[in-house]
Amino acid sequence: MTETTENKDLVQADNESTEEQTATQEVELTVEEQYEAKLAELQAKLDDEENRHLRLRADFDNLRRRTQLDREAAEKYRAQKLLSDLLPVLDNFERALQIEPTSEEAVSIVKGIEMVYRSLIEATEKEGLQVIKAEGEQFDPNVHQAVMQEQDSEKEQGVVLRELQKGYILKDRVLRPTMVSVNE
């Protein structure tokens, strides 16, 4: 072989070597890019799962809080239905006590009714039932129901003049508004 042929072979070998190195670098870059893409994809999935986990945890905490509040409200107002059903009974006792006894027998019956009425009132008060004050108070549509208007120049406008039917509150909830007559 001649020197020029050998030089050509060496140059050709160098070129092939350089091409292999370039191809290897391209493959390496491609592999690195693939890893980076895969890493970015996995990071995005991880972020999505973390967000999902945080949302689920927040939903669970909200559900637990809501359930606790519902349980507390159920305990607080457990007697609401019973007390609502007893309101007409209280009204009837009050009407019965307004009757003036005319005989000795009637007096003893009225005393018995008063004792039962007081016991019933004490039991309902222990559960948190309270009478809504009305007469002489400023009209409040949250606790009063105006069924009449009357004129009394001695009192301010919007003041309750008469209580027509008692209203009741259980703890902080109105069971029945007071029926009232309001000053014009």
Map tokens 């019956």 to a residue: 109
Residues 65-118: pLDDT tens digits? 999 999 988 888 888 889 999 999 999 999 989 988 889 998 999 999 999 999
Report d(CA 128, CA 122) in Å as an integer.
10
Dihedral of CA 22/28/30/33: which sign?
Answer: negative
- pLDDT for 112 equals 92
- pLDDT for 2 equals 58
> For the purposes of burial, counting CB atoms within 10 Å of the CB of 124, is it exposed (0-12), middle (13-18) or buried (19 or more)?
buried
- pLDDT for 174 equals 92
pTM value? 0.63
Tell me which residues of the chain have a pLDDT lower than 70.
Answer: 1-29
- pLDDT for 131 equals 93
Q: How many residues make up the chain in this entry?
A: 184
Q: What H or E segment, with its residue span, contains residue 129?
A: strand 129-131
Report d(CA 81, CA 99) in Å as an integer.
29
